[in-house]
Amino acid sequence: MPKRIFLTRYLVEQQRLEGHIPPELRLLLEVVARACKRISQAVNKGALGDVMGSAESENVQGEMQKKLDIIANEVLIEANEWGGHLAAMASEEMEGIYVVPNRYPQGEYLLMFDPLDGSSNIDVNVSIGTIFSVLVKPEGAGVSEQDFLQPGTKQVAAGYCVYGPQTTLVLTVGDGVAVFTLDREQGSFILTEEDLRVPEDTKEFAINMSNERHWATPVTRYIDECLQGKDGVRGKDFNMRWVGSMVADVHRILTRGGVFLYPWDKREPDKAGKLRLMYEANPMSWLIEQAGGMATNGKQRIMEITPTKLHERVSVFMGSKNEVERVTRYHSEP
Ligand code: AHM
Ligand code: MG
């Protein structure tokens, strides 16, 4: 029987053999994984637990919160606040940063997360997930929102957990992308794939087509050309897949290639896009890049954007390199 590599062992080896991560970061990632297991349990209960439906409240983005959005947020905070590895956390579901309370020791890391991505899919039993990103707090006393405003290139760990037919944790600490599947009987994440690669070419795209009339010209051009298939300039037929949970759409792309687009559109012209830079786009961009793919906002590499606020939004084009290169090029052509 092939030997089973547990998440703990993978992380210990990243720390010991590869020297990629300090012990505190290893422990922090283990706690995040443990929180994801608890969220996975809550998700699995569905209508049998008190986890479905709306929480009748709004988050800072003006979006209605689901009960599971709030549960997942609380699980992540409770699990991470006491370990001594973190200085503060930030979440899609909280307006400001959450500073680790004085009663616990403060560590040097900053953790950001979208506790439950794909909220609109919760009640219909479609894959959802948790996305997270870890930064190092800049030197200096105390911790403030300003400390979080670092470009994605500064991430020291990033990943997501997708709650689908399987619960899968996908992680990078800058040494490629590793995939762990939750063994429910054992309660452990087991390494099931290492060094994931995104094919450079693809025939699959993911976009919310219902927004077509609101897109900018380069996006319309790119998608029109895909839709023309064999008869058009692309000379091949494309397929479309859209789950509506970024975490599931990006997971498919990491697994078999494709391109994910959530562009700026005219519905909210003052916002750079729908998705959030710091806890959605940045961690996903790093994973995609680590797997040999590419991620831009149409003009520049997402990970090089210096954020100006915690909940900053961004246009997103990510996945198979040649497709992202193409749609990015269209943004600079007249
Ligand atoms: P959420 O974090 O509130 O769930 O919102 C993000 C989600 C993404 O997972 C998904 O790609 C997108 O919103 C879908 O939005 P829409 O259905 O409005 O196009
Ligand atoms: Mg989200």
Q: Tell me the per-residue pLDDT of 194-248, one tens digit each, with 9 for 90 and over.
A: 999 999 999 999 999 999 999 999 999 999 999 999 999 999 999 999 999 999 9
* pLDDT of amino acid 59: 78
Q: Is 117 in the pocket of ligand 1 (CB under 6 A)?
A: yes
Q: In the chain, what are the domains?
A: 7-193 (3.30.540.10), 204-332 (3.40.190.80)
**pLDDT tens per residue, range 52-106:** 877 777 877 777 788 899 999 999 999 999 999 999 999 999 999 999 999 999 9
* pLDDT of amino acid 52: 81
* pLDDT of amino acid 2: 64
How much is the pTM? 0.96
Of all residues in the chain, the percent with pLDDT exceeding 70 is: 99
Probe target for ligand 1 pocket from 120, 205, 211, with the most ligand atoms within 8 Å of CB: 120
Residues 156-180, mean pLDDT to the nearest whole number: 97
Q: Is 69 in the pocket of ligand 1 (CB under 6 A)?
A: no
* pLDDT of amino acid 91: 97
Residue 1 confidence (pLDDT) above 70: no
User: If you measure from the C-alpha of residue 60 to the centroid of ligand 1, how many angstroms do you get, rounded to a whole number?
Assistant: 15
Q: Is 188 in the pocket of ligand 1 (CB under 6 A)?
A: no
The span from the CA of 155 to the CA of 129, in Å, is 20
Q: Is 223 in the pocket of ligand 1 (CB under 6 A)?
A: no
The span from the CA of 235 to the CA of 261, in Å, is 21
Residue 51 confidence (pLDDT) above 80: no
Return the ligand 1 atom nearest residue 63 CA: 3
Residues 5-18, mean pLDDT to the nearest whole number: 91
**pLDDT tens per residue, range 103-154:** 999 999 999 999 999 999 988 999 999 999 999 999 998 999 999 999 999 9
* pLDDT of amino acid 53: 78
Probe target for ligand 1 pocket from 92, 117, 251, with the most ligand atoms within 8 Å of CB: 117
